[in-house]
Amino acid sequence: MSEQQTPGASGPVARTLGEEECLRLIAPGGIGRVAYSGRYDLTVLPVNFRLYEGDIVFRTEEGSTMDEDLRSGIPDAAYEVAFQVDDFDADTEQGWSVLVHGPAYHVVDEQERDALSGAGVRPWAPGERRLFFRIKPHRVSGRWVRGGGGGGGDE
């Protein structure tokens, strides 16, 4: 974990986070964004998520944009996606960002769906939203940043 500071003592400080620390930060769940190449080009959608058995799990509606974009019709087929979540406190000017890359799978097994229903994963949008996705983290990276009190930057 190396810290990098911009020139000048009051500049922002960034620290690279290890995979274990990244997963610990996102373990409580919350709101993240799923990015993938869809029918209409690059797509980024917000989702409520939980970490469940080491995977990122979220819900959507059958027939939704994400369902149609990521459905291949081939059992156990997956699409590579990026998943990003962050937390920033404007008062303390510090926060973190975690980026996960990995395959996203439709959860088709009814028993697994029932188990996930009891795991507290709520959908982003209102409604039943019985379709679950799992992202298996293959590459996890993150950064912690503390601002320098000087305002915005270009990064």
The tens digit of pLDDT for each residue in 29-51 reads 999 999 999 888 899 999 999 99
Question: What CATH fold (topology level) applies to the domain 13-146?
Answer: Pnp Oxidase; Chain A (2.30.110)
Q: How confident is the model at residue 111 (pLDDT cuts 50, 70, 90)?
A: confident
Q: Residue ranges of the domains in the chain?
A: 13-146
Q: Using CA atoms, how far apart are residues 29 and 24, in angstroms rounded to an integer?
A: 10
The answer to whether 18 and 26 are in contact (CB under 8 A) is no
Q: What is the pLDDT of residue 4?
A: 55
Per the CB < 8 A criterion, the answer to whether 139 and 22 are in contact is no
The number of helices, as runs of H, and strands, as runs of E, in the chain is 3, 9
Confidence (pLDDT) at 125? 61
* pTM (two decimals): 0.81
**Beta strands at 13-17 and 55-60: parallel, antiparallel or unpaired:** unpaired
The winner for highest mean pLDDT among 48-52, 87-91, 94-98 is 94-98
Q: Does residue 150 have a pLDDT over 60?
A: no
